[in-house]
Every structure is written in C-alpha cells, then in structure tokens.
C-alpha cells in the first residue's frame, strides 16, 4: 500500500519531546546494521590485540561513521521511501524532517573525524576513507553500475583501521582485506535482493538491480562463500577441521538457499547469504591474531 502525505499520521508517544526526537533519530539511523558492524569491528580489534581501550576507540569511531551513513541515506531517500509506503522510516512517514536527519548525519561525521584519529593519523585516514566511500554511495553511486564499489572499499578498510592503530601498527594481511571486501560486496547484493522490483520501479538501477533477481539470488551467497574460501585458504599454516568444517557447512547452506525453486518474494537466498556471512565473520574473528 502506498503512503500518501495527506494521510493523518499516528500521534507520537506521550514522552518528552527531546526523548521522542532521539528515538526517531535512532530509528532513522539503520540501527541493526550500525550495531552489527560496530560489534564486528570491536570484536576484530580485541582479537587483533588492541585491548579494551583500543577496541572501545574503534567501536566509537565506527559507530559514529555508521550513524552518519544511515542518517544521510534516510535524508536523501525520503521521497522514494515515502512513495514506497515505508511508514517504518521516520523521515518518510513525516515524523522526522529530512533537514533534521541531514544535520544529524553531518554532526555524526564531524564527530567521527576525531574519534577515527584516536588510533593515529594513518588508521584514522583509512577509516575516514571508508566512511566517505559510504557517503559517496548515498550521494552518487547508488543508482549506477558502480554501486558495489563503495561497499568493497568501506568493508575492506575495516581490517586496516584495526591493525594500523596502536600498540603495534602494521598493515593487514591480504586475505583479511580481501575477505572483508567480499563481505561488503555480498552485503550490498543481499541488502538489495528483497527489494529489487521496488527499486527498479523507483528508478534505482545499481548493479544488482540491473542484474536482476534470478542472477542476484546466486551472486549474494556466492560472494559470501568466496569470503569464506579466502579465510579458509589464505592464512598461513595448515587449516584444521575447525576451519574446514564451517567452510563446508557454509557451502551446503549457500547451495540449499539458492538451488531450490523460490518465488519472487522468497527470502531464502537472502537468509542463505546472511548465514554464510556469519560463518565468514566468525572465521575472520578467529583469525584476528594472524592479520598482521
């Protein structure tokens, strides 16, 4: 059902205005991926030897960057989300103005700059490159054939942000960067997969939309599975059963989620991609100490 701006909006809860505003901002920030990416970055920092303080600094910078990207996205997509009936998004529903979301995005990015630099100039520059890349997706590349590029850059920058910080700065191993970039590419396709038809109707023609659902339902889990393969074969030393068993499980899940016939609205390929991604994230965390 399409939402029309003339329809009356439900009343806000009877809470202080400032509290209501922060709740609306939290809902508009894409909280699930923001918290998930932040938790992953913090855990990666711990396994890489950054310690509690270093992991907290990484988490703060990543969370500020994620908030800025989420608010930027909702501010820019307000019209399209409104036309698609996205009443779950405060900006599209008219509960939060695009200007407020845009100002919040700028403020979060401004806060992200000093937080990123807490880990040193090089590490901070790497993280800010990833955040700017995500903003570039929102501002320029979302509707183009280059839409996967910012995801690869932003996710691929995370291992370097972690390993280039104190106490022992060093560039990350190639396999850590490659696996993170593949996870980013897979996340882009998986994120688009459930809404390809709606995106095309709204004129959003990124690379996944151009490829179409039949192709993307295979591409999403395959990219995640490629990340698992890199993390299985890339690190030095012989891979034992604790490495090969999850990789084999991921392969079975990827095939089961895509090979069976599925209707247009099926979320089976999306769920398969997310399950394989979880295996890849776990592998990367287990290999965190070997990233440099």
pLDDT at 40: 92
Biggest CA pair distance of the chain: 64
Does the pLDDT of residue 263 top 70, yes or no?
A: no
pLDDT at 274: 74
Q: Is domain 15-171 in CATH 1.20.58.760, yes or no?
A: no
Give the closest residue to 195 by CA, choosing from 183, 180, 208, 177: 208
Please state, in angstroms and as integers, the Cα–Cα distance from residue 139 to each residue in 61, 66, 70, 143, 203, following that order. Answer: 21, 15, 12, 9, 15
Residue 17 or residue 122, greater confidence = 122
pLDDT at 82: 83
Q: Where in the chain is the domain with CATH 1.10.357.140?
A: 15-171
pLDDT at 7: 43
Per-residue pLDDT reduced to its tens digit, 200-214: 888 889 999 999 988
Tokens encoding 262: 């599925």
Per-residue pLDDT reduced to its tens digit, 200-253: 888 889 999 999 988 988 898 889 889 888 988 888 876 667 677 777 888 887
Do the beta carbons of residue 126 and residue 191 sit within 8 Å? no
**Rounded average pLDDT over 87-95:** 85
Q: Please state which CATH number belongs to domain 173-292.
A: 1.20.120
Q: Where in the chain is the domain with CATH 1.20.120?
A: 173-292
Do the beta carbons of residue 186 and residue 224 sit within 8 Å? yes
Please state, in angstroms and as integers, the Cα–Cα distance from residue 110 to each residue in 78, 136, 236, 260, 275, following that order. Answer: 22, 16, 39, 47, 34
* Mean pLDDT for all residues in the chain: 85
Residue 166 or residue 14, greater confidence = 166
Q: Is 218 helix (H, G, I), strand (E, B) or coil?
A: helix
Taking the C-alpha atoms of residue 163 and residue 291, their distance in angstroms, rounded to an integer, is 8
Taking the C-alpha atoms of residue 143 and residue 72, their distance in angstroms, rounded to an integer, is 16
Does the pLDDT of residue 281 top 70, yes or no?
A: yes
Does the pLDDT of residue 109 top 50, yes or no?
A: yes
**Rounded average pLDDT over 15-32:** 79
Taking the C-alpha atoms of residue 111 and residue 95, their distance in angstroms, rounded to an integer, is 25
Residues 6+ apart with CB under 8 A from 61: 112, 115, 116, 118, 119, 124, 127, 161
Does the pLDDT of residue 3 top 60, yes or no?
A: no
Per-residue pLDDT reduced to its tens digit, 142-152: 999 999 999 99
């Amino acid at each position: 059902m399409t939402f029309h701006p003339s329809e009356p909006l439900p009343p806000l809860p009877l809470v202080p205005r400032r509290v209501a505003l922060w709740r609306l901002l939290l809902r508009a920030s894409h909280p699930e991926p923001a918290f998930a990416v932040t938790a992953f970055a913090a855990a990666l920092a711990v396994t890489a030897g950054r310690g509690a303080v270093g992991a907290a600094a990484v988490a703060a910078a990543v969370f500020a960057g994620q908030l800025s990207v989420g608010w930027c996205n909702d501010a820019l997509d307000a019209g399209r989300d409104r036309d698609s009936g996205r009443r779950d998004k405060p900006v599209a529903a008219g509960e939060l103005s695009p200007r407020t979301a845009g100002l919040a995005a700028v403020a979060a990015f401004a806060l992200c700059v000093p937080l990123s630099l807490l880990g040193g100039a090089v590490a901070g520059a790497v993280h800010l490159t990833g955040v700017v890349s995500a903003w570039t997706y929102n501002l320029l590349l979302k509707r183009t054939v280059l839409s996967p590029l910012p995801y690869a850059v932003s996710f691929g920058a995370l291992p370097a942000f972690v390993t280039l910080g104190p106490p022992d700065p060093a560039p990350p191993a190639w396999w850590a960067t490659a696996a993170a970039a593949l996870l980013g590419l897979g996340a882009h396709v998986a994120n688009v997969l459930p809404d390809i038809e709606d995106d095309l109707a709204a004129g959003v023609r990124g690379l996944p939309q151009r490829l179409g659902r039949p192709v993307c339902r295979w591409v999403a889990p395959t990219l995640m599975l490629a990340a698992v393969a890199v993390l299985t074969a890339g690190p030095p030393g012989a891979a034992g059963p604790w490495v090969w068993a999850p990789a084999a499980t991921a392969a079975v899940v990827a095939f089961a989620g895509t090979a069976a016939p599925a209707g247009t609205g099926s979320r089976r390929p999306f769920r398969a991609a997310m399950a394989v991604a979880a295996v890849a994230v776990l592998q990367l965390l287990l290999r965190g100490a070997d990233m440099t």
